[in-house]
Amino acid sequence: MNVISLSSFDLAIAASLLVVLSLLSMLLSLGLEKKIILFSCRMTAQLLLIGLVLRYLFASGSLLLVLLMATVMLLAAGREVWARQQRKIAGISGFTLSLGAMFVSSFSVTALALLVIIRVEPWYTPQYAIPLLGMLLGNTMTGISLAMDRMTDQLYKQRGVIEQRLLLGQSWQEASRDLRSDCMRTGMIPIINSMAAAGLVSLPGMMTGQILGGTPPVEAVKYQILIMFLIAAGTGFGVISAIWMSGLLFFDKRHRLRLEILKGPLK
Protein backbone atom coordinates (compact mmCIF):
# COMPACT_ATOMS: atom_id res chain seq x y z
CA MET A 1 0.00 0.00 0.00
CA ASN A 2 1.41 3.40 -1.02
CA VAL A 3 0.95 6.48 1.14
CA ILE A 4 -1.29 9.06 -0.50
CA SER A 5 0.81 12.13 -1.21
CA LEU A 6 -0.42 15.49 0.08
CA SER A 7 -0.11 18.62 -2.04
CA SER A 8 0.46 22.17 -0.84
CA PHE A 9 -3.19 22.86 -1.66
CA ASP A 10 -4.27 20.03 0.67
CA LEU A 11 -2.25 21.53 3.51
CA ALA A 12 -3.67 24.98 2.72
CA ILE A 13 -7.20 23.63 3.21
CA ALA A 14 -6.24 22.34 6.66
CA ALA A 15 -4.51 25.65 7.46
CA SER A 16 -7.70 27.53 6.58
CA LEU A 17 -9.33 25.93 9.62
CA LEU A 18 -6.83 27.75 11.82
CA VAL A 19 -7.63 31.00 10.04
CA VAL A 20 -11.29 30.47 10.87
CA LEU A 21 -10.34 29.64 14.46
CA SER A 22 -8.32 32.87 14.68
CA LEU A 23 -11.30 34.87 13.44
CA LEU A 24 -13.48 33.24 16.08
CA SER A 25 -10.88 34.10 18.71
CA MET A 26 -11.07 37.73 17.64
CA LEU A 27 -14.87 37.77 17.67
CA LEU A 28 -14.99 36.17 21.12
CA SER A 29 -12.18 38.38 22.46
CA LEU A 30 -10.10 35.37 23.49
CA GLY A 31 -6.84 37.05 22.56
CA LEU A 32 -5.41 33.83 21.10
CA GLU A 33 -5.42 34.73 17.41
CA LYS A 34 -1.80 35.96 17.30
CA LYS A 35 -0.52 32.85 19.08
CA ILE A 36 -2.55 30.55 16.82
CA ILE A 37 -1.11 32.12 13.67
CA LEU A 38 2.41 32.58 15.04
CA PHE A 39 2.83 29.09 16.45
CA SER A 40 1.19 27.38 13.48
CA CYS A 41 3.70 29.14 11.20
CA ARG A 42 6.52 28.27 13.57
CA MET A 43 5.42 24.63 13.69
CA THR A 44 5.24 24.45 9.89
CA ALA A 45 8.73 25.91 9.48
CA GLN A 46 10.20 23.62 12.14
CA LEU A 47 8.66 20.49 10.65
CA LEU A 48 9.72 21.36 7.10
CA LEU A 49 13.25 22.01 8.33
CA ILE A 50 13.42 18.77 10.32
CA GLY A 51 12.07 16.91 7.29
CA LEU A 52 15.02 18.11 5.21
CA VAL A 53 17.46 17.32 8.02
CA LEU A 54 16.07 13.81 8.52
CA ARG A 55 16.19 13.07 4.80
CA TYR A 56 19.91 13.80 4.82
CA LEU A 57 20.43 12.02 8.14
CA PHE A 58 18.64 8.86 7.02
CA ALA A 59 20.69 8.77 3.83
CA SER A 60 24.02 9.17 5.65
CA GLY A 61 23.41 6.88 8.63
CA SER A 62 26.34 8.52 10.45
CA LEU A 63 26.69 7.84 14.19
CA LEU A 64 28.22 11.30 14.71
CA LEU A 65 25.27 13.03 13.03
CA VAL A 66 22.77 10.94 14.99
CA LEU A 67 24.45 11.87 18.28
CA LEU A 68 24.58 15.53 17.23
CA MET A 69 20.88 15.50 16.35
CA ALA A 70 20.03 13.75 19.62
CA THR A 71 22.03 16.30 21.61
CA VAL A 72 20.25 19.21 19.95
CA MET A 73 16.89 17.59 20.70
CA LEU A 74 17.87 17.00 24.33
CA LEU A 75 19.03 20.60 24.82
CA ALA A 76 15.82 21.93 23.28
CA ALA A 77 13.69 19.67 25.50
CA GLY A 78 15.61 20.69 28.63
CA ARG A 79 15.14 24.33 27.77
CA GLU A 80 11.39 23.85 27.21
CA VAL A 81 10.97 22.13 30.58
CA TRP A 82 12.77 24.99 32.32
CA ALA A 83 10.91 27.71 30.39
CA ARG A 84 7.45 26.28 31.12
CA GLN A 85 7.80 26.79 34.88
CA GLN A 86 6.12 29.86 36.33
CA ARG A 87 8.66 30.08 39.15
CA LYS A 88 11.97 28.92 37.72
CA ILE A 89 15.13 27.84 39.49
CA ALA A 90 17.45 30.68 38.57
CA GLY A 91 20.78 30.31 36.82
CA ILE A 92 22.43 27.34 35.20
CA SER A 93 21.22 25.05 38.01
CA GLY A 94 17.62 25.20 36.82
CA PHE A 95 18.50 24.37 33.22
CA THR A 96 20.95 21.63 34.27
CA LEU A 97 18.30 20.04 36.48
CA SER A 98 15.77 20.03 33.61
CA LEU A 99 18.39 18.67 31.23
CA GLY A 100 19.37 15.90 33.64
CA ALA A 101 15.76 14.84 34.17
CA MET A 102 15.17 14.71 30.41
CA PHE A 103 18.33 12.64 29.95
CA VAL A 104 17.19 10.12 32.54
CA SER A 105 13.66 9.96 31.13
CA SER A 106 14.53 9.68 27.44
CA PHE A 107 18.13 8.84 26.58
CA SER A 108 18.44 5.90 28.95
CA VAL A 109 15.07 4.43 27.97
CA THR A 110 15.75 4.94 24.25
CA ALA A 111 19.11 3.19 24.55
CA LEU A 112 17.46 0.25 26.32
CA ALA A 113 14.79 -0.02 23.63
CA LEU A 114 17.29 0.08 20.75
CA LEU A 115 19.84 -2.30 22.28
CA VAL A 116 17.66 -4.82 24.14
CA ILE A 117 14.09 -4.72 22.80
CA ILE A 118 14.13 -3.73 19.12
CA ARG A 119 17.76 -4.87 18.59
CA VAL A 120 18.18 -2.94 15.35
CA GLU A 121 21.56 -3.20 13.60
CA PRO A 122 23.38 -0.91 13.97
CA TRP A 123 21.74 0.33 17.15
CA TYR A 124 21.96 3.99 16.10
CA THR A 125 20.02 3.47 12.83
CA PRO A 126 18.46 6.95 12.35
CA GLN A 127 15.07 5.64 11.16
CA TYR A 128 14.60 4.05 14.58
CA ALA A 129 16.74 6.10 16.97
CA ILE A 130 15.59 9.63 16.11
CA PRO A 131 11.81 9.06 15.95
CA LEU A 132 11.89 6.95 19.11
CA LEU A 133 13.92 9.55 21.01
CA GLY A 134 11.67 12.32 19.72
CA MET A 135 8.51 10.60 20.94
CA LEU A 136 10.02 9.98 24.36
CA LEU A 137 11.34 13.52 24.71
CA GLY A 138 8.06 15.08 23.59
CA ASN A 139 5.86 13.01 25.88
CA THR A 140 8.02 12.84 29.00
CA MET A 141 8.66 16.59 28.76
CA THR A 142 5.06 17.32 29.68
CA GLY A 143 5.08 15.23 32.83
CA ILE A 144 8.43 16.54 34.04
CA SER A 145 7.53 20.19 33.44
CA LEU A 146 4.21 19.76 35.29
CA ALA A 147 5.92 18.10 38.25
CA MET A 148 8.66 20.72 38.52
CA ASP A 149 6.25 23.62 38.09
CA ARG A 150 4.12 22.28 40.93
CA MET A 151 7.21 21.65 43.04
CA THR A 152 8.46 25.23 42.81
CA ASP A 153 4.98 26.68 43.24
CA GLN A 154 4.03 24.59 46.27
CA LEU A 155 7.38 25.03 47.99
CA TYR A 156 6.85 28.77 47.88
CA LYS A 157 3.20 28.65 48.94
CA GLN A 158 3.81 26.15 51.75
CA ARG A 159 7.15 27.56 52.89
CA GLY A 160 5.74 28.42 56.32
CA VAL A 161 4.58 24.86 57.00
CA ILE A 162 7.80 23.33 55.75
CA GLU A 163 9.99 25.70 57.77
CA GLN A 164 7.99 24.90 60.91
CA ARG A 165 8.55 21.20 60.35
CA LEU A 166 12.27 21.84 59.89
CA LEU A 167 12.35 23.83 63.13
CA LEU A 168 10.74 20.88 64.91
CA GLY A 169 13.70 18.73 63.92
CA GLN A 170 12.51 17.01 60.77
CA SER A 171 14.93 16.49 57.91
CA TRP A 172 14.17 18.13 54.58
CA GLN A 173 13.10 14.74 53.22
CA GLU A 174 10.54 14.33 56.02
CA ALA A 175 9.32 17.93 55.90
CA SER A 176 8.69 17.85 52.15
CA ARG A 177 7.66 14.20 51.70
CA ASP A 178 3.94 14.85 51.15
CA LEU A 179 4.62 17.76 48.82
CA ARG A 180 7.11 15.79 46.74
CA SER A 181 4.75 12.82 46.47
CA ASP A 182 1.97 15.13 45.28
CA CYS A 183 4.27 16.63 42.63
CA MET A 184 5.27 13.19 41.39
CA ARG A 185 1.62 12.18 41.04
CA THR A 186 0.89 15.39 39.15
CA GLY A 187 3.65 14.68 36.66
CA MET A 188 2.52 11.10 36.02
CA ILE A 189 -1.21 11.76 35.64
CA PRO A 190 -1.05 12.70 31.89
CA ILE A 191 0.61 9.45 30.80
CA ILE A 192 -1.63 7.37 33.08
CA ASN A 193 -4.68 9.02 31.50
CA SER A 194 -3.25 8.41 28.03
CA MET A 195 -2.78 4.71 28.75
CA ALA A 196 -6.32 4.45 30.11
CA ALA A 197 -7.79 6.05 26.97
CA ALA A 198 -5.58 4.40 24.34
CA GLY A 199 -7.57 2.17 22.01
CA LEU A 200 -10.95 3.15 23.44
CA VAL A 201 -11.04 6.93 23.23
CA SER A 202 -8.02 7.62 21.03
CA LEU A 203 -5.76 5.94 18.49
CA PRO A 204 -2.22 7.09 19.35
CA GLY A 205 -0.17 8.90 16.74
CA MET A 206 2.49 6.29 16.02
CA MET A 207 -0.06 3.53 15.52
CA THR A 208 -2.16 5.74 13.25
CA GLY A 209 0.89 6.74 11.20
CA GLN A 210 2.00 3.15 10.71
CA ILE A 211 -1.48 2.05 9.66
CA LEU A 212 -1.69 4.91 7.16
CA GLY A 213 1.71 3.84 5.87
CA GLY A 214 0.48 0.31 5.21
CA THR A 215 1.73 -1.55 8.29
CA PRO A 216 -0.59 -4.41 9.36
CA PRO A 217 -2.79 -3.18 12.26
CA VAL A 218 -1.65 -5.87 14.70
CA GLU A 219 2.02 -5.03 14.10
CA ALA A 220 1.26 -1.32 14.50
CA VAL A 221 -0.50 -2.08 17.79
CA LYS A 222 2.57 -3.94 19.08
CA TYR A 223 4.81 -0.97 18.38
CA GLN A 224 2.31 1.39 20.00
CA ILE A 225 2.15 -0.75 23.14
CA LEU A 226 5.96 -0.70 23.26
CA ILE A 227 6.03 3.08 22.91
CA MET A 228 3.39 3.59 25.62
CA PHE A 229 5.34 1.36 28.02
CA LEU A 230 8.55 3.27 27.30
CA ILE A 231 6.90 6.67 27.68
CA ALA A 232 5.26 5.68 30.96
CA ALA A 233 8.52 4.34 32.37
CA GLY A 234 10.51 7.30 31.09
CA THR A 235 8.03 9.80 32.52
CA GLY A 236 8.10 8.09 35.89
CA PHE A 237 11.91 7.95 36.05
CA GLY A 238 12.20 11.54 34.85
CA VAL A 239 9.63 12.92 37.29
CA ILE A 240 11.14 11.11 40.27
CA SER A 241 14.68 12.22 39.41
CA ALA A 242 13.56 15.83 38.75
CA ILE A 243 11.76 16.12 42.09
CA TRP A 244 14.63 14.53 43.99
CA MET A 245 17.22 16.79 42.36
CA SER A 246 14.97 19.80 43.05
CA GLY A 247 14.98 18.88 46.73
CA LEU A 248 18.78 18.84 46.76
CA LEU A 249 18.78 22.37 45.36
CA PHE A 250 16.03 23.80 47.56
CA PHE A 251 17.53 22.54 50.83
CA ASP A 252 21.10 22.98 52.00
CA LYS A 253 23.25 20.62 54.07
CA ARG A 254 21.82 22.09 57.27
CA HIS A 255 18.27 21.32 56.03
CA ARG A 256 17.30 24.95 55.49
CA LEU A 257 14.83 25.97 52.79
CA ARG A 258 16.48 28.09 50.07
CA LEU A 259 13.80 29.99 48.13
CA GLU A 260 16.27 32.62 46.97
CA ILE A 261 17.17 30.37 44.04
CA LEU A 262 13.71 30.93 42.56
CA LYS A 263 13.16 33.27 39.65
CA GLY A 264 9.65 34.46 38.83
CA PRO A 265 6.55 35.91 40.54
CA LEU A 266 7.03 35.54 44.31
CA LYS A 267 3.87 37.20 45.57
Per-residue model confidence (pLDDT) at position 147: 92
pLDDT per residue of the chain (267 residues) written in tens, 0 to 9: 566 777 888 889 999 999 999 999 999 988 889 999 999 999 999 889 988 888 888 888 888 999 999 999 999 988 888 888 888 887 788 889 989 999 988 888 999 999 999 888 888 888 889 988 988 998 899 899 999 999 988 888 888 898 899 888 899 899 989 999 999 999 999 889 888 887 766 666 667 777 777 778 888 888 888 888 999 999 999 999 999 998 888 888 888 888 777 775 555
Per-residue model confidence (pLDDT) at position 54: 86
In contact, 210 and 223? CB cutoff 8 Å? yes
